[in-house]
């Protein structure tokens, strides 16, 4: 039985108007819902910019809780490309065989630990540690650092009672200030040292720029990966036969990963600020207002995906936008894909059955739409 479905929250609005407006801290957002419009709008950075006031393109807006610009995602071309090229090679390291085997060892160990038959809480005691431990490989810093990050919980700007938590954000900021300081006198083979030494427009990066890149590295791949891992568990608890199918046909893992990213769409949307009066999906959009690219809606567009509300793990054509689209496409995508692939591989090799016992859904509620992004908690039992 489908106990853990992820419904399409936008079907009617996408078919009827293609645009859905939400209120967000007196700075409304016109969400772009159709796959074609999302891609077109993402391409057009001159009219729909990312380099606005820091925090404004995020929904909910973070302008009231931070001043630091996250780089490269809050920067437009041509500077965007210059920043991105400094770190692109580093973010391709997850494709190396050595990185893959380190991940596999880590995730195999995590899965072995839950196989004793006792129920566990997946979000905090399984997905969060896996995400944080894997992040040590992306930064290439000591494994033990993950213990600190785990203590911050599932999101760096949100806590259970506050969606925009300044105190929490400051934990990360202070931590990064210390780390940048530390590595400036102890250079090594890590991401901090790389950033401290690169040359950008004939100079070194400033502390603030380095921090902006690191905040994004910590924040962007956190709740998104945690939700993707938990949701995958939820899916296999409903469809154990699909896990068996993958066990018999591990070559299905890459298409299964893409399909989960499409179906779960861990990031609902990302905003842009409009630089001149424009029109999207027949709707007039005024200068200096906000639009958003709704990845979650585009990924269920039936003019692009056949049976969009079904998980088809061997889906052939899958032009999903779960990692964004165009020049701002997710820099951490290689890492995220490897984590998910390794995770599914470990589950399929080691687990026969996942029993969902109890859970609390995490619903984004914007009044005009409600969307399930994952779980606040998920109790489950794993049988070897
Ligand atoms: C921002 C964003 C990046 C934002 C790709 O997404 O992730 C959100 O979780 C953060 O709150 O600041 O980093």
**Helix (H, G, I), strand (E, B), or coil: what is residue 117?**
coil
**Helix (H, G, I), strand (E, B), or coil: what is residue 154?**
coil
Q: What's the whole-number mean pLDDT along residues 296-311?
A: 98
CB 216 within 8 A of CB 70: yes
Residue by residue, DSSP assigns 321-369 as -TT--GGG--TTHHHHHHHHHHHHHHHHHH-SEEEEEEEEEEEEE-SS-
Q: What's the whole-number mean pLDDT along residues 12-30?
A: 98
Ligand 1 surroundings by CB, under 6 angstroms = 58, 62, 70, 157, 216, 219-220, 223, 267
Residue located nearest, by CA, to atom 3 of ligand 1: 220
**Smallest Cα–Cα separation from 60: which of 298, 365, 265?**
365
**Phi first, then psi: what are they for 233, rounded to 5°?**
-60, -45
**Smallest Cα–Cα separation from 91: which of 191, 187, 188, 184?**
191
d(CA 216, ligand 1 centre) in Å:
6
pLDDT tens for residues 112-149?
999 977 999 999 999 999 999 999 999 999 999 999 99
Distance CA 346, CA 334 (A): 18
> Does pTM surpass 0.95?
yes
Residue located nearest, by CA, to atom 10 of ligand 1: 219
Residue located nearest, by CA, to atom 7 of ligand 1: 220
Ligand 1 atom at shortest distance from the alpha carbon of 156: 11
**Unique residue bearing structure tokens 């203590």:** 151
Residue by residue, DSSP assigns 5-68 as ----S-HHHHHHTSEEEE--TT--EEEE-SHHHHHHHHH-TTTEES-SSTTTTSSS--TTT--S
Q: Which two tokens mark 92?
A: 């391709």
pLDDT tens for residues 42-67?
999 999 999 999 999 999 999 999 99
Q: What's the pLDDT score for residue 62?
A: 94
**Unique residue bearing structure tokens 């809606």:** 297
What dihedral do alpha carbons 46, 81, 270, 128 form, nearest 10°? 180
């Amino acid at each position: 039985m489908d106990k853990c479905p992820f419904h399409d929250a936008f079907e009617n609005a996408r078919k009827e108007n293609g645009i859905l407006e939400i209120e967000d801290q007196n700075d409304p957002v016109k969400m772009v819902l159709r796959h074609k419009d999302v891609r077109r709008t993402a391409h057009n950075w001159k009219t729909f910019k990312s380099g606005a006031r820091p925090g404004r393109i995020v929904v909910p807006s973070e302008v009231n809780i931070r001043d630091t610009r996250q780089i490269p995602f809050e920067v437009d071309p041509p500077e965007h490309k210059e920043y991105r090229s400094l770190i692109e090679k580093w973010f391709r390291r997850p494709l190396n065989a050595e990185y893959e085997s380190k991940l596999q060892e880590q995730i195999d160990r995590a899965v072995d630990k839950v196989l004793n038959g006792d129920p566990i809480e997946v979000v905090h005691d399984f997905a969060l540690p896996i995400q944080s431990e894997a992040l040590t490989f992306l930064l290439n810093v000591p494994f033990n650092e993950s213990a600190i990050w785990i203590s911050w919980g599932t999101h760096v700007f949100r806590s259970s009672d506050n969606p925009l938590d300044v105190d929490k954000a400051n934990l990360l900021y202070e931590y990064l200030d210390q780390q940048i300081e530390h590595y400036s006198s102890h250079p090594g083979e890590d991401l901090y040292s790389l950033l401290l030494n690169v040359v950008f427009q004939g100079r070194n990066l400033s502390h603030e720029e380095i921090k902006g890149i690191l905040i994004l590295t910590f924040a962007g791949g956190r709740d998104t990966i945690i939700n993707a891992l938990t949701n995958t568990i939820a899916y296999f608890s409903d469809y154990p036969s699909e896990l068996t199918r993958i066990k018999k046909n591990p070559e299905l893992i890459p298409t299964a990963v893409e399909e989960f990213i499409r179906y779960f769409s861990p990031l609902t949307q990302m905003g842009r600020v409009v630089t001149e009066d424009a029109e999207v999906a027949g709707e007039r959009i005024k200068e200096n207002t906000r639009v958003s690219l709704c990845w979650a809606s585009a990924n269920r567009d039936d003019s692009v995906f056949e049976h969009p509300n079904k998980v088809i793990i061997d889906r052939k054509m899958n032009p999903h936008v779960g990692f964004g689209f165009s020049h701002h496409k997710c820099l951490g995508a290689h890492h995220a894909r490897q984590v998910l692939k390794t995770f599914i591989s470990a589950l399929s090799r080691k687990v026969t059955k996942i029993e969902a016992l109890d859970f609390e859904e995490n619903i984004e509620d914007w009044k005009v739409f409600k969307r399930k992004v994952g779980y606040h908690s998920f109790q489950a039992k794993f049988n070897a």
